[in-house]
Amino acid sequence: MKLLLATLLLFVAIESSAQVRLPPQRRMKRDSLIEHGLPRLDPRQVAVRSFLGQIEHGIITSSLTSSSAHFASQVLVNISGGESGYFSSNQVLSVLQNYFSGRKPVVFHFSRFNDQGSAPYATGRLTFVNKGSQESAQIYVSLEHRDSRWVISQFNIY
Amino acid sequence: MQTPSFVSEKMRRPALWGVLISSVALGLVFLTRAGYGGFLERAWGDRQAAYRTQFTNTVQTRFTERVQELLSVASEVRKDHGLLGLLKADTPTSIAAAFSALDRHRTINDVSLDIADPQGSVVVWAGKSVVESYRSIFDTGEVDTFVVISPAGLHRFLSVGISTADASAYVIASRTVEVNYPLSNRFVSRSSFSDDISGELGTSVRLLFEEGPPDLDTTDTILIPLLNLHRRPIAYALVSLPTLAEASQAADGLAALWSKIIAGIGALLIAFVVLTWPLRSTTHVLQFVLLASTVWSVRVIWRIVDFPSVLVGGALFDPAVYASPFLFSLTSSLGELFLSCTAVLITAFGLLSTVERLYVDPVEKDEGVSWAKRSLYVLLVFILAVVLQFVIRGYGAAMRSFVLDSTLRYQDPSSLVPEGPVVAMHLTILILTFSFILVVFAILFFAARTLSRSLPQLRRTVLLPLLTFIFLGGHGVFILVNRIPQTPLYYPMLVILLGVALVGWYESRRVSVPMATRITWRRALFMGATIFILSALLIDSKLHEKERLRVQMLADELLRPVDSWLSFVVTEGIRAAAHQPVGQFAAAETDTMDASNLAFKLWAQTLMSREGYNSGVFIYNSRGVEVSRFSVGMTSYEQVDLLSKVFDVEEEVLHVSERNLPHGAIRYYGAWSTVRDDNEQALGTVAVLLSASQKSLFRGETPEPLRAASRDRSETTFESISMSEYEDSVLVSTNDEFLNRGSRLPTYVLEELRRSEARFIWSEVMRGNSTLDVLFARDESNPGRVLAVGLKSVDSRWRLFNLVKMFTVYLVFFIVGIVTYALLRSVRRRAPVFGFREKLVSSFALLSILPLVVMAYYNRELAVERLNENITRRLSEDLFLLHQRIASTVHDAADFSGGVNNEYCEILASDLGVDFAVYGRSRLQSSSRPELYRTAILDGRLPGDAFANVVLLQRNIFKDTERIGEVEYIVGYRPIVLGGRFVGVLAVPALYRLQEIDEELAQRNAFIIGAYALVLLFIVAGGIALANRLSRPLRELSRAARTVGAGNLDVQVEPRSGDEVGELVRSFNDMTRQLKASRDNLARVERELAWKEMAKQVAHEIRNPLTPMKLSMQHLLRAYRDGAKEFGDILQRVSQTVIEQIETLSRIASEFSNFARMPERAFERVDVNTLLNDTLKLFAEVGGIEFRSRFSDVPATLIADKDELRRVFINIIRNSIQAMERGGVIAIETEVKDYICRVTISDSGSGIPPELQEKVFQPSFSTKTDGMGIGLAIAQKIVQDLDGTIGLQSEVGKGTTIVMQFPLKRA
Quick: pLDDT tens for B834-860. Answer: 677 778 877 887 887 788 778 878 887
Which domain range does residue B624 map to? 563-634+648-704
Distance of alpha carbon B400 from alpha carbon B544, whole angstroms: 11
State whether B560 and A93 contact (CB < 8 Å). no
CB B1232 within 8 A of CB B1302: no
B960-976: average pLDDT: 80
Is the confidence at residue B1297, as pLDDT, over 90? yes
Residue of A nearest to B184 (CA): A81
| Yes or no, beta carbons of B404 and A132 under 8 Å apart | no
Q: Are residues B759 and B625 in the same domain?
A: no
pTM of the predicted protein model: 0.73
Kindly state the average pLDDT of the residues B892-911: 88
Angle at B656 between CA B655 and CA B657, to 5 degrees: 120
Average pLDDT over residues B74-99: 92
Q: How far apart are CA B146 and CA B229, in angstroms?
A: 8
Highest mean pLDDT among B418-432, B702-716, B742-756, B1079-1093: B418-432
Higher-pLDDT residue of B359, B285: B285
- List Cα–Cα distances, B993 to B853, B864, B872, B914, in angstroms: 28, 13, 11, 11
- Of the partner residues A14, A90, A123, the one whose CB lies closest to the CB of residue B568: A123
Tell me B1158's DSSP state.
Answer: -
Confidence tier at B734 by pLDDT (50, 70, 90) = confident
pLDDT digits (tens, 9 = 90+) for A47-102: 899 999 999 999 988 888 777 888 998 898 988 777 788 899 989 988 998 888 88
From residue B342, give the alpha-carbon distance in Å to each of A79, B51, B396, B516: 33, 47, 18, 15
Q: Indicate the pairing of strand A71-79 with strand A149-157.
A: parallel
Residue B367 confidence (pLDDT)? 54
Size of interface A-B (CB pairs under 8 A): 144
Q: Mean pLDDT across the stretch B724-736?
A: 82
Helix (H, G, I), strand (E, B) or coil at B1263: coil
pLDDT tops 50 at residue B702 = no
Is B366 within 8 Å of chain A by CB?
Answer: no
Residue-wise pLDDT tens digits, B514-568: 444 556 667 777 888 889 889 988 998 898 888 888 888 878 777 776 677 888 8
Q: Chain B closest CA to A30's CA: distance in Å?
A: 24
Q: Which of A20, A87, A111, A148 to mutate to test the interface with B (most CBs of B within 10 A)?
A: A20
> What pLDDT is recorded for position B1059?
84
Q: What angle do CA B1179, B1183, B1188 make, to 5 degrees?
A: 60
**Whether residue B1044 is found in the same domain as residue B1107:** no
The percentage of chain B sitting over the pLDDT mark of 70, rounded to a whole number, equals 86
Same domain, B868 and B767: no
- Do B505 and B599 share a domain, yes or no? no
B734 to chain A, minimum CA–CA distance in Å? 26
Cβ burial, residue B1090 (10 Å; 0-12/13-18/19+):
middle
Q: How confident is the model at residue B1260 (pLDDT cuts 50, 70, 90)?
A: low
Residue B1083 lies in a domain: yes
Calculate the CA dihedral of residues B127, B128, B133, B137 and round it to 10 degrees.
-90
Q: Among the three residues B1048, B1081, B1114, which one is the final residue of a domain in this structure?
A: B1048
Query: Is A120 an 8 Å CB contact of chain B?
Result: yes
Residue B822's pLDDT band, with cuts at 50, 70 and 90, is confident
Cis peptide bond N-terminal to B308, omega within 30: yes
The reply to whether B587 and B727 lie within a common domain is no
The pLDDT value recorded for residue B780 is 74
- Interchain contact B257–A (C-beta under 8 A): no
Q: Judge whether B255 and B8 are in contact, CB under 8 Å.
A: no
Q: How many domains are there within chain B?
A: 7
CA angle, B172 as apex, B166 and B176 as ends, to 5°?
Answer: 170
What's the rounded Cα separation, in Å, for the pair B1185 and B1250? 25
Cβ-defined contact of B320 to A95 (cutoff 8 Å): yes
In a mutagenesis test of the B interface, which of A67, A68, A90, A142 is the best target, namely the one with the most B β-carbons within 10 Å?
A90
The pLDDT of residue B782:
75
Give the containing element (helix H, strand E) for B1114: helix B1060-1122
Dist. CA B587–CA B593, nearest whole Å: 10
Segment among B382-386, B650-654, B1000-1004, B1273-1277 with least mean pLDDT: B1000-1004
Q: Can you tell me whether residue A114 is helix, strand or coil?
A: strand
Pair B730, B626 in one domain: no
Q: Is residue B348 part of a domain?
A: no
Distance CA B723, CA B1073 (A): 82
Strand blocks (E) in B1114-1206: 1163-1167, 1185-1190, 1197-1201
Q: What local confidence, expressed as pLDDT, does residue B955 receive?
A: 92
Report the mean per-residue pLDDT for chain B. 82
Nearest to A19 among B289, B380, B401 (CB): B401
Quick check: A85 and B320 CB within 8 A?
yes
Domain segments of chain A as ranges? 45-157
Residues of chain A found within 8 Å of residue B288, distances taken between Cβ atoms: 5
Which one, of B580, B540, B769, B787, lies nearest residue B673 by Cα? B580
What part of A 70-99 touches B (C-beta under 8 Å)?
Answer: 73-74, 76, 78, 80, 83, 85-88, 90-91, 93-95, 97-98
| B931 in any annotated domain | yes
CATH of the domain at B692: 3.30.450.220
> Does domain A45-157 correspond to CATH entry 3.10.450.50?
yes
Last residue in a domain, options B1119, B1150, B1181: B1150
Contact B319 A95 (CB under 8 A): yes
- pLDDT, tens only, B113-161: 999 988 889 999 998 888 888 888 777 665 678 888 887 766 788 999 9
Do residue A90 and residue B394 have CB atoms under 8 angstroms apart? no
Give the contacts of B337 (CB within 8 A, at least 6 positions apart).
B322, B324, B331, B402, B428
Greater pLDDT, B403 or B864: B403
In a domain, B520, yes or no: yes
Torsion of CA B956, B957, B963, B969, to 10 degrees: 160
Name beta bridge partners: B776. B761, B788
Query: Residue B326 pLDDT more than 60?
Result: yes
Asked if B869 and B917 sit in the same domain, the reply is yes
Q: Which of A77, A97, A156, A118 is nearest to B562 (CA)?
A: A118
Is the pLDDT at B776 greater than 60? The verdict is yes
Distance from CA of B412 to the nearest CA of A (A): 17
* AA letter at B789: V
How close does chain B come to A36, measured CA to CA in Å? 27
8 Å CB contact of B319 and A68: no
Q: Is B1179 exposed, middle or buried (0-12, 13-18, 19+ CB in 10 A)?
A: middle
Indicate whether B526 belongs to any domain.
yes
pLDDT in tens, B499-514: 999 888 887 765 544 4
Q: Which residue in chain A is spatially nearest to B559 when comparing CA positions?
A: A118
- Residues B784 and B805 reside in one and the same domain: no
Residue B947 confidence class, pLDDT cut points 50, 70, 90: very high
B801 shares a domain with B785: no
Q: What is the pLDDT of residues B330-352, one digit of tens each?
A: 999 999 999 999 999 999 999 98
Find out whether B1216 and B1243 touch, Cβ atoms under 8 Å. Answer: yes
ipTM over 0.90: no
- CB contact under 8 Å between A19 and B397, yes or no, is yes
Residues 31-70, chain A, touching B (beta carbon < 8 A): 68
Q: How many Å apart are CA B981 and CA B513, to the nearest integer?
A: 89
Q: Do A90 and B320 touch (CB under 8 A)?
A: no
Amino acid at B486: Q
Gap from A7 CA to chain B (nearest CA, Å): 10
DSSP code, position B168: S
B557 contacts chain A (CB < 8 A):
no
What average pLDDT score do residues B690-701 get?
Answer: 56
Whether residues B830 and B842 fall in one domain = no
The answer to whether the CB atoms of A132 and B249 lie below 8 A apart is yes
Q: What is the mean pLDDT of residues B1192-1211?
A: 86
**Within the 6-35 window of chain A, which residues sit less than 8 Å (CB to CB) from chain B?**
6, 8-10, 12-20
- Residues B574 and B485 both lie in one domain: no
Chain Cα centroid distance, residue B344:
17
Contact check, Cβ <8 Å, A94/B332: yes
Q: Do B405 and A88 count as a contact with CB atoms less than 8 A apart?
A: yes
Find out whether B231 and B68 touch, Cβ atoms under 8 Å.
Answer: no
CATH of the domain at B763: 3.30.450.20
Specify if B280 maps to a domain.
no
C-alpha to C-alpha distance for B566 and B698, rounded to whole angstroms: 17
Higher-confidence residue of B708 and B210: namely B210
B515 belongs to a structural domain: yes
Q: Considering CB atoms only, which of A1, A123, A131 is closest to B285?
A: A1
Please tell me the predicted confidence (pLDDT) of residue B518.
59
Are B1041 and B1143 members of one domain?
A: no
